[in-house]
Chains A and B, each alone.
Chain A
Amino acid sequence: AKDFRLGTIVPAGHFWSKYATAMGEAIKEQSGGAHTVTVFPSGQLGDESQMVQQLQSGALDMAFLTIADVSNRIPAFGALYAPFLVDNVGDGAKLLKGETAQKLLEELPGKMGVLGMGYGIAAMRQMLSTTPIETSADLAGKKMRITPFKPFRDLYNIIGIAPTPMPLPDVYDALANGQVDAIDVDLELIMNFRFDQRAKHLLLTNHAMFPMVGLVSGRVWAELSEEDRKLVGDNMAKALDDLLAEYGRLEPELVSQVKATGIEVKEVGPEFFPGVVEKWEETWKDQKPLIDRLRAEAAAM
């Protein structure tokens, strides 16, 4: 009997936490109560980099992590953040279940000491601004809060934005008084933090997907019986699959919720940012073959 610990950075009410809990219940039921899973939300056991370290030592059994931290360690994962790779969450989910993305998971044990059971996802990334944005030139020189990791930083450097790192809880105030002018964000976060009250101009870009990866500690895995591995692996894979489907359903709902707030919503595509995708791929030329394969898979959808 084992009580697994699963860590994640998002709060308890977030879908990632909910599906982690659901996975725990399934594991408990199918093991006849022998195995349980406790979910530690809100980064209670540390930030993502600390959770990775605990996965590596075996102190933490499982985690649902954004691939931000993973891509800092294994740059190839950054390719999944390529700008305008997919148009919507549904295509993102298909791409993540595709051959190329799944093959990436095989790098995890050797390079990070963890096993990837599959991908989850959050809503597509958008740009929310306090001032109207007519052309991409209007974005140049703006101060934008972004998640500080390389793929996004490169994108905004190319657009000419001054990226400003800042903890998420501070963003609401910062938008109110000009500490930042814009934020790279998804629709779920806009509604949860009510950023719409402070920034009234949304560029519905869908410029990047935001994958999550379900991990199991390599050390813990090594100690599991064949049967328990199957139990854990199957249930985590199922929870992640359900999560992908959930976001697919959620996306149109989020769009109408945001539109109902009355803020200006402008739907734009890659043509709004001339030359940006090419320059980004130039910066990421080390991963070019990988990005090409991903784009080919996406185009075939």
Chain B
Amino acid sequence: MIVSIGFTVLLLAGVPIALVLAMTAMIYIVVSGNTILFQSMPQQLYGGLEKYGLLAIPLFMLVGELMNEGGITRRLIAFAGVFVGSLRGGLAYINLVANLLMAAIIGSANAQIAVMGHVMVPEMVRRGYNREFATAVTAAGGLMSPIIPPSMLFVIYGVLAQISIGDMFLAGIIPGILMGIAFISVVAIMGFFYAYPREERKSRRAALSDILGALPSLTIPVVIIGGIAGGIATPTESAALAAVAALAVGAIFHREFHISHVPQILIRLVTNSSMVLFLVAAANVFGWIIVYERIPQMLAVTMQQMTSDPFVFMLMLNLLLLGVGMIIDGIAALILIVPILLPIATSSYGISPFHFGVVVCLNLVIGLLTPPVGTALFVAANVSGCKPTAIMKPLTPFLLASLLILMLITWEPRLVTVILSQ
């Protein structure tokens, strides 16, 4: 009781979430009288990061940074334009298709929304789209980023769940593509009610030049997904190889990357990755205390008295997570949920850890856009200059589509597991 009050007070007061976790663990130790646990605390904090898979986090962040500095984003958008640009509402489709391509390089929704918002929103507004709608499409498109590999959320989930991160990446491919299809359908359906501006068809020559211009950039997702699925590299190594590819494309092909960008890139890289990694470390201490105090075991008993049906369990999980996702975001929420609920899901309900992981992550990704706390919503608003509340209306159909996909995946585990090798 004291522990949960302490947790809530610290969290709401605005203490950094990582420290909330570490301090809650400390309160628990004091309250339970097991002060002997204090001695293991520094080592548990350190040990939380001693995982090979976590190396992928700074590396995938580096890929995103290098891609951004090397003119790759612009070319991928032009590439998407060749295929869907001439449709009515062309730029909305270009936005989503480009987001799909970008999702295969970037591992975080917020990073992707920031990048795409800078480029796509002004462009769409210039061509006569409503600014709020343009922002909503971009924000929705960004949601695919942590589902389509690579994904920071999946890396952390894989580490927490002790399952293969490579397989977790593969597990996200079908759900990610389904999201893309759902969002494109939303744009198409909304086209019946709003008259989107029409784009001019590109000349053959321009189209060819856009395709050729994007070819070097397209090697990056090939390196990442091909490297993992083809078994040439671990997810971590594929991230390092992709960083080399992004650097080469930006510096050699596009000649846009400059050595003077390096310090700023490294500072962003270090700040952002240590933010995530410190959260993981603190979560290890928190999770260790939770397990030590046998909380998952006790919760499992309660859950099992309520239902023995895995699908009902998953529905309850979804409701819980949509609630959690309103207040705590993405990685931080994942870190709180997984140590408690994964053991219950796998041992009491026989749910595949991959299925559980995709459902939880998709849920928390949706939470990035739900108020009152939705970092991706704030990022989108910040980049586009709209009010968060104003984006909510055009965003609602996309959120409903995401929920539909979430239900579909909750109901049919094979959408996740069919692609796995085992």
Contact = CB atoms under 8 A, between A and B. Distances in A.
Interface stretch (B77-85, B141-149, B227-235): B227-235
A176 B34 CA distance: 46
B408 to A, nearest CB: 27
A263 B288 CA distance: 41
Contacts of B43: 50, 53
A177 B231 contact: yes
A169 B162 contact: yes
Interface stretch (B163-171, B190-198, B201-209, B266-274): B163-171
Interface string B89-110: 0000000000000000000000
B290 to A, nearest CB: 10
Nearest to A170: B164
Contacts, number: 72
Contacts of B291: 40, 44-45
B36 A179 contact: no
A247 to B, nearest CB: 24
A12 B37 contact: no
Q: Which of B165, B231, B347 has the most CB of A within 10 A?
A: B231
B301 to A, nearest CB: 14
Interface string B284-319: 000010011010010000000000000000000000
A38 interface: yes
A32 interface: no
Contacts of B165: 170
A47 B167 contact: no
Interface of B is mostly: helix
Contacts of A54: 40
Nearest to A174: B231
Contacts of B297: 38
B292 A5 contact: yes
Contact of A194 (B44, B162, B294, B422): B422
Contact of A59 (B37, B294, B343, B421): B37
A173 B40 contact: no
A167 interface: yes
A90 interface: no
Contacts of B230: 177
Interface in A1-59: 5, 12, 38, 40, 42-47, 49-50, 53-54, 57-59
B163 A57 contact: no
Interface string B225-243: 0000011111000000000
A177 B232 CA distance: 6
A169 B47 CA distance: 19
Contacts of A12: 347
B39 interface: yes
A217 to B, nearest CB: 10
B166 A53 contact: no
A179 B347 contact: no
A12 B44 CA distance: 22
Contact of A172 (B37, B50, B347, B421): B421
Interface of B: 34, 36-37, 39-40, 43-44, 47, 50, 52-53, 162-167, 230-234, 288, 291-292, 294, 297, 343, 347, 421-422
Interface of A: 5, 12, 38, 40, 42-47, 49-50, 53-54, 57-59, 166-167, 169-170, 172-174, 176-179, 194
24 contacts: A5-B292, A40-B291, A45-B288, A45-B291, A45-B292, A46-B288, A47-B47, A47-B50, A50-B44, A50-B47, A54-B40, A57-B40, A166-B234, A167-B52, A167-B162, A170-B164, A170-B165, A172-B421, A172-B422, A173-B231, A174-B231, A174-B234, A176-B231, A178-B232
